[in-house]
Amino acid sequence: MIDKLLGALVPLTAAAVAFALGAIMLVALGANPFEGLQALFDGAFGSGDRLAATAVRATPLILVGAGITIAFRTSVINIGGESQIIAGALLSTIAALSFPGLTPYLLVPLVLLAGFIGGGIAGAIPGALKAYASVNEILSTIMLNLIMVQFMNYLLRGPLIDPYELEAGTRIPQTERLSDNASLPTLIDGTRLHLGVPIAVAAAVAAYFLLWRTPVGFRLRAVGHSPKAARAAGINVKGNITLALGLSGALAGLAGAILVFGSQGQRMVTDGSAAGFTGNAGFNGIVAALFGGLHPLWTVPSAFLFGALLTGATQLQRVLQVPASLAVALNGIIVIFVISSSRVRVRLKKLLENSSLLNKPDQEETTEAT
């Protein structure tokens, strides 16, 4: 009974407190918090087009998040999402530049596959380094993030640059407009809802099936539970670690391809930073995965809500003239509160149970932590 009550109350309180802090910040900035919250939701859900934009914004989060769940179940931490997204985007761009005349029925799957492979390589490298060279994946993924940004800048400024830019002398670091045959078809006319969205959802479902319905997934989870036991059972621990990070990266790479070919501009462009292209999806996807309890299927609605927060924030900034960083800070607060709240329930329950058991001294466990 307590469990059910707490199960509803705790996340509610967490969300409420987080939003309350956000409201305080809005007031401190001289803005009306109710208008602010309304702008947030209006920006995310206010019209069919906005809803589509939210879905599109959530797409990389779903993919990265699903990949994170695979990695987490194998007990590896993947914070290299940014590099994997970029790697996938670059390889898919190269594919489109190489085969511009190919029919869309072949080119679209090709560029998506290229994204998958590109990200997969970017994920497999830290995976292999961990498995075979004992290089911790946190270190290698952070380093690879740095490496990939520079590589992207180099390619988009050099070999892949739009030839027109060189002629005109403006030298904007972007590719030429990529073949229309590669662009992701729009599903609902008048909105920006494109094929990438259902693909992402399908990928999340596939991740679920992989983890819980296939021998491959079983082995991954076994390694996650106990590498020693897995090895004793004959499972190739090293190979599976590499596979986990590779798959995680591949999904992020797919997100990268979708970012390029679902984008409004049909080009890959850089402003020199990673986040300018990825929108921090590499990190936000981790958060989305967590909100979804590190389960691939729940990552979908969780990413959607997170995407809503991000889309709504743009409206917030426009309507209330508050800096975008307010929304970023709010995101952080929400993450912190939500993560904390999942265990609060357990501790509160313990607390309540202990207090009501005070008249049963023999059942006292070890002292409650203070």
Q: By CB under 8 A, what part of segment 242-271 binds other proteins?
A: 259, 263-267, 269-271
Helix, strand, coil content of the chain in percent (nearest 5): 75, 0, 25
> Under rule CB under 8 A, how many of the chain's residues touch other proteins?
114
Listed residue (55, 35, 36) closest to 44, CA to CA: 55
Q: Does 318 bind other proteins (CB under 8 A)?
A: yes
Instruction: Return the residue of 347, 352, 353, 364 that touches other proteins, per CB under 8 A.
Output: 347
Q: Does 228 bind other proteins (CB under 8 A)?
A: no
> How many beta carbons lie within 10 A of that of residue 9, not counting itself?
15
Amino acid identity, position 329? A
Instruction: Return the residue of 48, 185, 198, 272 that touches other proteins, per CB under 8 A.
Output: 272
| Centroid of chain to Cα 52 | 18
* Contact criterion met (CB below 8 Å) for 227 and 237: yes
Instruction: Return the residue of 8, 27, 106, 357 that touches other proteins, per CB under 8 A.
Output: 8
The span of 105-113, 227-235, 239-247, 339-347 binding other proteins (CB under 8 A) equals: 339-347
Q: Which is nearer to other proteins, 136 or 356 (CB)?
A: 136
Q: Does 290 bind other proteins (CB under 8 A)?
A: yes
Task: Count Cβ atoms within 10 A of the Cβ of residue 158 and give its class: 0-12 exposed, 13-18 middle, 19 or more buried.
Answer: exposed
Q: Which is nearer to other proteins, 113 or 161 (CB)?
A: 161
Q: By CB under 8 A, what part of segment 23-62 binds other proteins?
A: 25, 29, 35, 37-38, 40-46, 53, 57
Query: To the nearest 10°, the Cα dihedral for 231, 236, 242, 248?
Result: -80
Q: Which is nearer to other proteins, 113 or 147 (CB)?
A: 147
**CA-atom Rg of the chain in angstroms:** 23
Q: Which is nearer to other proteins, 106 or 325 (CB)?
A: 325
**Residues 22, 26: Cα–Cα separation, whole Å:** 6
Instruction: Return the residue of 133, 359, 360, 363 that touches other proteins, per CB under 8 A.
Output: 133
Q: Which is nearer to other proteins, 114 or 330 (CB)?
A: 330
| Paired tokens of 247 | 């798959």
